[in-house]
Amino acid sequence: MSSNKQNNSDFNYPSNSKAAINVGVVGHTNAGKTSLIRTLLRDDHFGNVDDAAGTTRSVEQSAIYADNEVVLNLFDTPGFEDSSALLIALDDLSISIKPNSPTELLKAFIDQQGRYADFKQEIKVLRQSLSSDVLLYIIDVREPLLGKYRDEVEILSKAGKPILPVFNFIADENQALNRWRDQMALFNLHAALEFDTVAFDFEAEKRLYQKLQSLMERHYDPLQRLIDYRQQVWQNLNQAAAQRIFILICDVACYRLEATASQSSQSKTIGGNGFSDTDVNKMQAFVRNAEQQALTDLLAIFSFTQLDIDLQQLPVSEGRWELDIFSPHMLKEFGLGIGASALSGAAVGVGVDLMVGGMSLGAASLLGAAIGGGWATARRYQQEFKAVWRRHQWLCVDDDTVSLLYLRQCRLLSTLSHRGHAAQNKLKLVDNGKVGLPQKWPSLLKSLRQNPQWHQATPDDAEYHKSQKLMLEWLLLGN
């Protein structure tokens, strides 16, 4: 422990570092200790994670803050590899030195580490266990119940510290999980936690801190501050992501391109047969670009790296969606009806603003417009008046495409907010079939359509804020 303190002296803590809780993360090799820490730190560069024994060979410290206060010091330790032999060695030593307590036995074992060169990794674990306030014992529940795991718990219990078993890799492993629970209960370890480092769930992280609260009453308040702070940060991330999605949908739904008369007069059907390729391409390029920018922002909000993208099997390659938004397959994939445009072979995604033959009535009520004066009304509708005068039409993004865009962002948000920073196995996290459009989607879409002035703007408008609030509720609380 003294050596730890010495090493830690130049570590730059914000404040209260002396009061921080030292948490030893221990367990069998390859159980997911480093993965757990990565997830808690939201840092997929912490330590080394590999599907092989003995990947972590040093004790590595990191700290978790609640604002400016260090609440937890996490110590990643090498994994146990030969606990059965270690237990035999401890028993032999116990016979020879007759210690007063199990802790004294461990200390004596560490003092005589020269004699036990084979156990140098395990000795690091023992040393850290003695200097920690609490131990998180990580269990890969897919593993069979073997004697070596029982031996590990027996050895750790000699450190005299509270032990919290953490069940990892629990997805679809209910039976195994129950077996492990029963096994831990044999050691009087009834308080345990399910925390999947691959399929991360913030609630599980919260439960981890709550379990620590119950194990360490005197650290209750800082842990509560940590829970509150983390909750706030997590909500902020989700809120920011949802807000970004609203901006995307708003930009796309409010987008309009004035199409020239010679082409638009040929057809008024949704599908865009009457529009020039240049206009259609321009509109589609805008949508692609807007979605691309949103994707970049959303990946950045959740600190998603290419590694995460690969692990979560997001259909994203080099930061771009693999499947184009205007591909007819996309509509099928998201369970939307294929629009007339696709069926007729016309450009997908093209719609015509047919509301009033090219002139949409804005959401600003007529009364408001009238009171606002002729000038303001004329300014608001000047584009429409011009279009009517010139017999032009507005080319806009069709409803199916906007809906598709929304559904794809919903799925993305769900994936981004449920990943662990530690996944080593590719895992499909989101059930693609269950994302549906909210009941009030058509009315929201109508509201957006009626306010083209919201395109690429953040107006201080009650109707805008109402629409934003509604979509944020859908995205954050579900439809």
Partner 1 sequence: MTTSKFDKSLLIEQIRQIETPHPLNCDNEDELSDFLLNQTFHERLWQRAKRLVRQHDLSAALSHAARLSRTIKTITLTLVALLGAVGTMYAITDSDTINIYWLLLVLLGFNFISMLLWLIGISLNMDGLTSGLFARFTSRLPGLLNKVNSDKQGNINISGLADRAWLRCFYSATVGKWQLSKITHQLWLVYLLAGLTSLLLLMMVRQYDFIWGTTLLSDSVFIQLTGSLSQPLSLIGFMTPSVEQVQESRLGVEHILTAEHRSHWAQFLLGSLLCFGILPRLLLLLLSSLMSIRARRLFSLDLYLPYYIDLRQRLVPLASHGQIVDADTSPPVMTDIEQQIPLSHSLPEHTKWAAIELGDKFSWPISLINGLNNFGQVIDRESLESTLQCLQTSQCQVLAVVVAAARSPDRGVQRSITSLTLHCSQRWLVLLQSPDEKKISSKRLTAWYQLAQACNIPADHVISLSVDKT
Given 101, 236, 278, 289, the residue binding partner 1 (CB under 8 A):
236
CB 211 to partner 1: min, Å: 19
Binding residue (CB under 8 A) for partner 1 from 94, 103, 224, 243: 243
Establish if 195 lies at the interface with partner 1 (CB under 8 A): no
SS3 71: strand
The answer to whether the beta carbons of residues 8 and 385 sit under 8 Å apart is no
Indicate if the alpha-carbon torsion angle 347, 353, 355, 358 is positive or negative.
Answer: negative
CA atoms within 13 A on the CB side of 327: 11
Contact, 27 vs 163, CB < 8 A? no
* Site size toward partner 1, by CB under 8 A: 79
Task: Report if residue 8 touches partner 1, rule: CB under 8 A.
Answer: yes
Alpha-carbon gap, residue 103 to 400, rounded angstroms:
67
Closer residue to partner 1, CB minimum distance, 125 or 309: 125
Among 19, 88, 97, 338, binds partner 1 (CB under 8 A): 88
Which residues neighbour 14 within 8 Å (Cβ) at sequence distance 6 or greater? Answer: 65, 68, 69, 70
Site for partner 1 in 63-82 (CB under 8 A): 63-65, 67-68, 70, 75-76, 78, 81-82
Nearest to partner 1 of 243, 267 (CB atom): 243
Nearer to partner 1, 82 or 194 (CB): 82
Nearer to partner 1, 45 or 469 (CB): 45
Under the binding rule (CB under 8 A), the answer on residue 230 touching partner 1 is: yes
Minimum distance from CB of 21 to partner 1 (Å)? 14
Is residue 313 within the footprint of partner 1 (CB under 8 A)? Answer: no
**Rounded distance, CA 205 to CA 418, Å?**
12
In degrees and rounded to multiples of 5, residue 43 shows phi and psi of -140, 105
Which one-letter amino acid corresponds to residue 443?
Answer: S
Residues in region 264-303 near partner 1 by CB under 8 A: 297-298, 300-301, 303
According to DSSP, residue 114 is labeled G
**Phi, psi (5° rounding) for residue 68?**
-105, 15
84 is an interface residue for partner 1 by CB under 8 A = yes
Determine, following the binding rule CB under 8 A, whether residue 14 of this chain makes contact with partner 1.
yes
Dihedral, CA atoms, 429, 432, 438, 442, nearest 10 degrees? 140
> Nearer to partner 1 by C-beta: 61 or 414?
61
405-464 residues near partner 1, rule: CB under 8 A:
460
